[in-house]
Amino acid sequence: MASTVTSKKSKNSRTSKNSTASARPGYGRLLRTRGAWTFLLPGFAARQPFAMLTISIVLLVQHTTGSYGAAGAAAAVTGVSMALFAPYSGRLADRYGQRAVLVPGVLLHALSGLTLTALALMDAPLWALFVAAVPTGASVPQVGPMVRARWGVKLKDSPLMTTAAAFESVTDELTFVVGPLLATALCTAVDPAAGLVTEASLTLIGGLLFAAQKSTQPSVGGDSGHARVEHVSALRIPGVRVLIVTFLGIGSVFGGMQVSLAAFTESIGEPGLNGVLYGVFAAGNMLSGVVCGAIAWKVAPQRRLVVGYTALALTASGLWAAHSVPVLAGLGLLVGMCIAPALITGYTLVESLVPAGARTEAFTWLTGAVALGQAAAVTVAGQLEDRFRDGAGFLVPMGGTVLALVTLLALRSRLAGRAQGRTVARGVGHRVPVAVD
């Protein structure tokens, strides 16, 4: 009898383990989702502006003016415009549909990007570059949030939603590997203007192909169908504001490193290493993102964000002390490895903080916060490199992450989700269907 009971327990244990293993969603299963590749491939091309635009402007304007300060300022205007218009773009996409926003947006972006390129090559005054930079940044397509929204349509009520969130963050990081390498190679080996021209072309082609995929586009007005939900502003939610500050700090790392790495590699006579070093940093992002998405987390996302962000601030604080290529590459890899978990966890928290009808807007606020932090960082880092050199621009990632960490620690209680339970599965509560993340 005892033997029979033991046998049953053993069998039940094995069955439970096998059930858990089979229930655990993976990347392979996600990518076999019917119709996913129809929006993933064009979406990847259309996402390149966020990774290529800033560094392409910095390299082009620095080449034509000889000033990192001027280059950083021009890139900053683009970033600020993107940050200010991104939430509005997300709100319009929720209300009128993604296609209605994307088609005119990518056309405007291509035209204004090419205009900015022409003005820079003609040695136009800085104010003229600023004028062209405004529509260039404002029209950057918000493809990342739109792809997340399409996953929400394909995977409604599915445990694959968390895997999709991790996959999207990995894809974002992959663009930061490919984009800077491609832009730097084009600007240094082909022509200083080649980066912006390629960026505009990829945006136009990828954006139009993405917009053409009507079958996966979310319905206008979201899943709820209630007009009242449509008009909820994500910015009114305290937790979203905390996440915005957190993502501003992440943006300061991206922007500060772009300018500072370019200045460092030029100072040692190896400008081509800029893309390599930034690629190492972005590769750390991507690799840690893959791992982060594959782990069945038991720790609450609020705590993961605090721990991960502390590690980011500590590693970013050491960048200014690195004065050799191997040390800078190694430290940049560590910084990159700390960014992806923070991004993934921040996007994951949106599900518990924001009602379904406002999540696309919430994602664009976070994307805009990264762009705004990046814009401020390239401006300040450019000025520091012009005036002090010797890696002074690397102080920007340190300052940005430390300030954001202080804010996060002080206001972390606001990241508690809406009253819907505290069950955590792979980092996300699933008691309410996830619409975007």
Residue 287 lies in a domain: yes
Averaged over 248-260, what is the pLDDT? 90
> CA-CA distance, 197 to 182, in Å (whole number)?
12
Checking if the pLDDT of 153 tops 90, the result is no
The CATH number for 69's domain is 1.20.1250.20
Residue 49 lies in a domain: yes
Q: What is the pLDDT of residues 366-385, one digit of tens each?
A: 888 887 888 889 889 888 88
Residue 61 lies in a domain: yes
Residue predicted with more confidence, 182 or 9:
182
Which residues form the domain of 67? 34-221+235-415
60-69, 345-354, 397-406: range with lowest mean pLDDT:
345-354
Residue 421 lies in a domain: no
Residue reference for tokens 């840690």 = 288
Averaged over 218-234, what is the pLDDT? 55
Q: Domains in the chain: how many in total?
A: 1
Residue 246 lies in a domain: yes
Residue 394 lies in a domain: yes
> CA-CA distance, 19 to 401, in Å (whole number)?
41
Residue 422 lies in a domain: no
What is the percent of the chain where pLDDT is above 70?
Answer: 84
Residue 2 lies in a domain: no
Q: How confident is the model at residue 416 (pLDDT cuts 50, 70, 90)?
A: confident
> CA-CA distance, 404 to 348, in Å (whole number)?
18
Residue predicted with more confidence, 94 or 424:
94
By the 10 Å C-beta count (0-12 exposed, 13-18 middle, 19+ buried), 15 is classed as: exposed
Please give the pLDDT value at position 267: 84
Most distant CA atoms of the chain, gap in Å: 91
Q: Report the candidate in 355, 354, 308, 359 with the shortest Cα–Cα distance to residue 334.
A: 308
What does 173-200 look like in DSSP terms, one character per residue? HHHHHHHHHHHHHIIIII-TTHHHHHHH
**Is residue 161 a contact partner of residue 70, using CB atoms and an 8 Å limit?**
no
What's the count of helices (H) and strands (E) in the chain, helices before strands?
Answer: 17, 0
Q: How confident is the model at residue 423 (pLDDT cuts 50, 70, 90)?
A: very low
The average confidence (pLDDT) of the chain is 80
> CA-CA distance, 61 to 119, in Å (whole number)?
10
3-class DSSP assignment, residue 425: strand
Q: How confident is the model at residue 29 (pLDDT cuts 50, 70, 90)?
A: confident
Q: How confident is the model at residue 126 (pLDDT cuts 50, 70, 90)?
A: very high
Residue predicted with more confidence, 132 or 279:
132
